[in-house]
Structure 1
Amino acid sequence: MKKIPDSEIESKYLRARKKVEDIKGFYYNLIAYCLVIPFLAFVNYKTSWGYQWFWFPMAGWGVGLGFHAYHVFVDTGILGRRWEERKIQEFIEEEEEKMRWG
């Protein structure tokens, strides 16, 4: 049975921990959005409903929330996580090759 190096286990743990932190951050952002936007709509309704300004923060924050969701749950595009992993692996292999021949 092949023993997995401690550095590889630590690396996987750190990546998993970062993924969990990213997901947690997204959900905190989503909860804040769901609480703050209705509050802003209420304030707008009570103060100056003739000009409905609450749509602007709702749209802006919503777009940001969409980008955040994409980054956390999808981000496998041209410069996404898969690309990042491939590049890291390439650099590690280059370093190993230099150490063998140099």
Structure 2
Amino acid sequence: MTDEEIDRLARRRAGAKLGWYIHATVYLAVNLFLLAISDQGWGTRRWTWFPPLGWGLGLTLHGISVFVLGAGSGLRERLERRERERLQRERQRP
């Protein structure tokens, strides 16, 4: 890899991780706010668990895509390498 490719990959990985950290921070802030207003007596508290559960699933999937399947994982890099090799073989065929 050239220095430019390494720099571009590092920026992409850092951007993906920063995006997840921002997502997690907003998740915490909004759900703490919802918990606080639910304690003000505006109806029953049963609804309070639905936003964090649904959004938490999205946050979990976002985290998996960034940290497990993302640009830094060996799985993604292996799949990209295989695909690149397959495309090069197809290009070389007459």
TM-score range, shorter chain: 0.7 to 0.9
Normalising by structure 2, what TM-score? 0.76
Stretches of 4+ aligned residues off by more than 6 angstroms? none
**Structure 2 residue 17 is the aligned partner of structure 1 residue 23:** yes
Root-mean-square deviation (CA, aligned residues, Å) is: 2.5
**Residue correspondences, number:** 90
Q: Which of 63, 74, 84 matches 2:80?
A: 84
Distance in structure 2 (CA, Å) of the matches to 1:77 and 1:52: 42
Normalising by structure 1, what TM-score? 0.71
Map 1:1-102 → 2, pairs under 5 A: 8-46=2-40, 47-48=42-43, 50-75=44-69, 76=73, 80-92=76-88, 94-95=90-91, 97=92
Gaps of 5+ in 1: none
| Bigger relative contact order (CA 8 A; separation at least 6) | 2
- Among the aligned pairs, what percent are the same residue? 30
Structure showing greater radius of gyration is 1
